[in-house]
């Protein structure tokens, strides 16, 4: 028999699941409204900031209103940041498939992996370092990615495993929850990293 506590936990889980689907839909919608290239950065910033407030600060503001506000508030910086990331990934992927020399392909594969680690926390860093320059945001993201490499490896292993399981069972789930699940996973790891940083700082100050 379910206790009230278990029912409450189940309700919170279901509400959270539907919220991730809603955020995923909003991300797709606002990315399309921004014609893709102009909207993907601000939409990613918006979902990152909402999840940051939800997981780190335990706040649950109205989803659509908050998402729209966040989408607009840092539009130019988030858009330019996304362009930098897209350009770097584009160059590396083109090199991997077009270079004929095998060791140059391997170098580009390694650079692609390094870029993925470096850029994992870019938009969470933008949320945390509100008002800082793009250079500082990339530097902080790189510190989070490489400084806590074990978290980053676990994070992408879990994300890729989830995508694989969805692709072989219900591929439509990738469209419904793919971005939301990825953003949630990254935000959760960012929360863990921030907690570790604060713990280390407290030890130093003692």
pLDDT in tens, 130-171: 778 999 999 999 999 999 999 999 999 999 999 999 999 989
Q: How confident is the model at residue 58 (pLDDT cuts 50, 70, 90)?
A: confident
Which of 47, 51, 68, 64 has its CA nearest to residue 16? 51
Which helix (H) or strand (E) segment is 2 a member of? none
Q: Looking at residue 57, what is its pLDDT?
A: 81
Q: How confident is the model at residue 8 (pLDDT cuts 50, 70, 90)?
A: low
Q: Looking at residue 6, what is its pLDDT?
A: 65
Average pLDDT rounded to a whole number, residues 77-83:
96
How many domains is the chain built from? 1
Percent of the chain whose pLDDT exceeds 90: 71
Domain assignment of residue 130, given as a range: 4-205
pLDDT at 56 over 90: no
Q: Looking at residue 154, what is its pLDDT?
A: 95
Q: What is the mean pLDDT of the chain?
A: 90
Which of 194, 185, 198, 204 has its CA nearest to residue 148? 194
Q: How far apart are CA 117 and CA 76, in angstroms?
A: 24
Q: Looking at residue 9, what is its pLDDT?
A: 67
Task: List, in order, residues 6 or more apart from 39 with CB less than 8 Å away.
Answer: 30, 31, 32, 33
Residue 184: CB atoms within 10 A of its CB come to 21
Axis crossing angle, helix 134-147 with helix 149-169, rounded to the nearest 10 = 90
Q: How far apart are CA 56 and CA 61, in angstroms?
A: 13
Q: What is the pLDDT of residues 19-36, one digit of tens each?
A: 999 999 999 999 999 988
Residue 81 is classified by DSSP as H
Q: How far apart are CA 167 and CA 179, in angstroms?
A: 14
Higher pLDDT, 204 or 194: 194
pLDDT at 202 over 80: no
Q: Looking at residue 99, what is its pLDDT?
A: 87
Q: How far apart are CA 160 and CA 164, in angstroms?
A: 6
Q: Looking at residue 64, what is its pLDDT?
A: 93
Q: Looking at residue 132, what is its pLDDT?
A: 83
Q: How far apart are the first and last CA of the chain?
A: 48
């Amino acid at each position: 028999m379910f206790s009230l506590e278990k029912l409450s936990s189940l309700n919170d889980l279901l509400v959270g699941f539907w919220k991730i689907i809603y955020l995923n839909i909003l991300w797709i919608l606002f990315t399309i409204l921004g014609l893709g290239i102009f909207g993907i950065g601000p939409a990613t910033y918006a979902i990152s900031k909402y999840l940051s407030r939800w997981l780190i600060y335990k706040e649950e503001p109205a989803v659509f209103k908050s998402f729209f506000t966040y989408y607009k508030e840092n539009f130019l910086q988030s858009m330019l940041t996304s362009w930098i990331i897209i350009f770097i990934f584009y160059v590396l992927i083109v090199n991997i498939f077009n270079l004929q020399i095998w060791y140059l392909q391997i170098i580009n594969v390694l650079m692609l992996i390094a870029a993925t680690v470096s850029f994992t926390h870019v938009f969470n860093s933008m949320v945390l370092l509100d008002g800082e320059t793009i250079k500082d945001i990339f530097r902080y993201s790189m510190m989070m990615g490489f400084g806590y490499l074990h978290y980053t490896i676990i994070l992408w292993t879990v994300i890729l495993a989830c995508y694989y399981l969805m692709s072989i069972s219900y591929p439509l789930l990738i469209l419904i929850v793919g971005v939301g699940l990825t953003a949630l996973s990254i935000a959760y790891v960012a929360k863990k990293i921030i907690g570790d940083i604060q713990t280390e700082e407290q030890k130093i100050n003692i």
